[in-house]
Structures are given as C-alpha cells and as structure tokens.
Amino acid sequence: MNILAIESSCDDTSAAVFTDQGIQSNIISSQSVHLQFGGVVPELASRAHQKTITQTVQQALEEGSISLDEIEAIAVTQGPGLLGSLLVGICFAKGLALSRNIPLIGVNHMDAHIYANFIDHQPEFPLIALTVSGGHTQLVHVTSPFEHEVIGKTRDDAAGEAFDKIGKLLGLPYPAGPHMDKLAKDGDPKFHKFPQALLQEGLDFSFSGLKTSVLYYLQDKEEDWIQEHLNDICASVSFAISEVLVKKLKRAIKQTGVRTVLLAGGVSANSMLREKSQKMTDELGIQLYSPKISYCTDNAAMIAITGKMKADLGQFDDLDMVPFSSL
C-alpha cells in the first residue's frame, strides 16, 4: 500500500511517503518563529502549518517519486498535540481522502514514536519502550502491536521539558536539548551532583525538582563563571536525567521480564542516554533498538510506518475523525 503521511502535532510540518520499498521521503519543515519566545506559541504554530503544509506534501511526493493518484491511504497524526496544529493536518488529510476516495488512518503520536523503531528494524514482542520527549516521559509495556500499558510516567515535567527549561536558564537557544547534548560531550558529568528524584520509588519520574535545583545553583554564580563551566553543568544535568531514565528502565525490564527494549521520542537522540542504555542492556543480555536520529524528533516517517501497521490490521478511520489534544 502506498501511504502519504502527515504530521503537524506541534511546530514541525512534516510529510512522508511509504511504499512496499519502505520510506521513500520524509520532509520536515521546522518553524523558526518560536525562537524569539523561547518556546512554542500555539497560535503561531497553527498559522505556520497552514502556510507550509501544501508545499511540504508536494515535496514529499516529488522526492518519493510518486504521484497523488498512486496514493492509496493517508495517515495523519490525530493527537496528542496542540489542537490548532492538529486540526491543520487533519483537515488537509480529510480533504485529500475525500477528493481521492481513499481511506484515512488516524495515528496516535506517542504510538508513532515507539514504532519509529520499526522503520529500520524488526523488534520482537513483548517489549518495553522508554518514550522521552518534550511533552512526555513514559515506560510502555507493549505486548503486541497497539497493545500498550503505560507502567511508568512523569508526575510533573517531562525529560525534554527539563532539558529545555534548564537550557533557557543557561542562556541556550530553544530547543535547548540538542545544544546541551553537544556541550555535555566536552564536560565532566560529575562536576556537580544534581538530584535524581524518585530513584527508589516505582517506575514514575519527576524532573521539576531538578529544574529548581539548577535554578538555585545558578543564582549566586557570575555569568562569566557559568560560561566557563557551561560544558560541565550541561554534562552534570545530562547525567542526572539519563541516570534516572536508565535506572527506571532497568527496573521495568526486571519487573516485566522482557528481552527487547526500545528508545523513542526526541530525547532518545541524547548521546549520554544512548550510551548508558546500551551499556545496561548489554550487561543484561537484552536487545536494544534506537531509531535513527532523523526519526527521533517529530516526523511523518514514523506516522507512515504506524499507519502501515494499522492498515495491515484493518484499522482505518472515517471523515468523522477528530483530533485529541492529550492522552
């Protein structure tokens, strides 16, 4: 089945084409309008999607060497995400589906982050997915395709949100996560011991205390001193966040007995998290899968592969499909 996929849950407009040869294109149009605000402004995001979605889809079709007449289904992000942004993608997808008389497939954005690992790999079920992004931090027990149980989640800030807010305190541009990761590579992760919340308690996460701790730590520091030790501070923050994520992941593995682990979401691109996860799973003899960096952040390729998996199971939607902003 030739599938056109559309992703517009936040501030990236993306379109991808999937055929029986796999992903043929994955176009991402990022929005720069939010940089001056240090975060995503929902109204501006939806307006930017309206301006770019047509050309993004056209580019995906051209790069995928396929015409719209050859598309047999349209997969689109249904949620969670910003409601205005989701509506742009869904309305565009509905229009195409109606005009071409082809089926529509609504995709859960969080499912898609997990199944991004299936673009280049064939992980075996059951498995544990550690999904870490700007809006979510979850441990998901997946027993078979689309049979999910969230066994751990954040009680406040998500891991990606903590990176971005701490990066803002350090004067780094938005989104700060990739910048912190790059700086941390040349820093000392044991420069300062930041708190690791809920380390001995179950599978839930909490990162709001870490954010507050960094704020207090920086209050009496001169700007020159912060800049001098910026790499070390970033490394110490990355160490604290990744340490909690990996230790909780290890606990989930032991509680469920799974032999397969997936990293998913934008923060799964973090190099320290990848290295620690690989070391831990190697020690346990567990198979670890991580998506390509280009498939970690929001993208339509992950919507396409998830749409393909739903189509294989006969899971289609009709034109009454509506977006949902939260899980």
Tell me whether residue 121 is annotated as binding. no
pLDDT value for 32 = 67
| The pLDDT of residue 49 | 87
Is 212 one of the annotated binding-site residues?
A: no
From the list 269, 169, 277, 141, the residue with the least C-alpha distance to 226 is: 169
Q: Where are the alpha helices (DSSP H) in 64-203?
A: 83-100, 109-115, 159-169, 177-184
| Per-residue pLDDT at 34 | 65
Task: Give the global pTM.
Answer: 0.94
Is residue 11 within 8 Å of residue 40, measured between CB atoms? yes
Is 164 one of the annotated binding-site residues? yes
Side chain identity at residue 75, one-letter code: A
113 is in an annotated binding site: yes
pLDDT given at position 39: 72
Phi, psi of 150 (to 5 degrees): -80, 115
- Give which of 151, 247, 150 is closest to 197, Cα–Cα: 247
pLDDT digits (tens, 9 = 90+) for 251-281: 999 999 999 999 999 999 999 999 999 999 9
On whether 135 is known to bind a ligand per the annotation, the reply is yes
- CATH topology for 123-290 is Nucleotidyltransferase; domain 5 (3.30.420)
Reply yes or no on domain 3-114+296-312 having CATH 3.30.420.40.
Answer: yes
Is 270 labeled as ligand-binding? Answer: yes
For residue 62, which amino acid is it?
Answer: E
Which sequence spans correspond to the domains of the chain?
3-114+296-312, 123-290
Residues 171-198: tens digit of each pLDDT:
999 889 999 999 999 999 999 999 999 9
CATH topology match: 3-114+296-312 vs 123-290: yes
Cα 196 from chain centre: 22
Residues of the chain with pLDDT under 50: none
Give the Cα separation of 309 and 291 in Å (integer).
Answer: 17
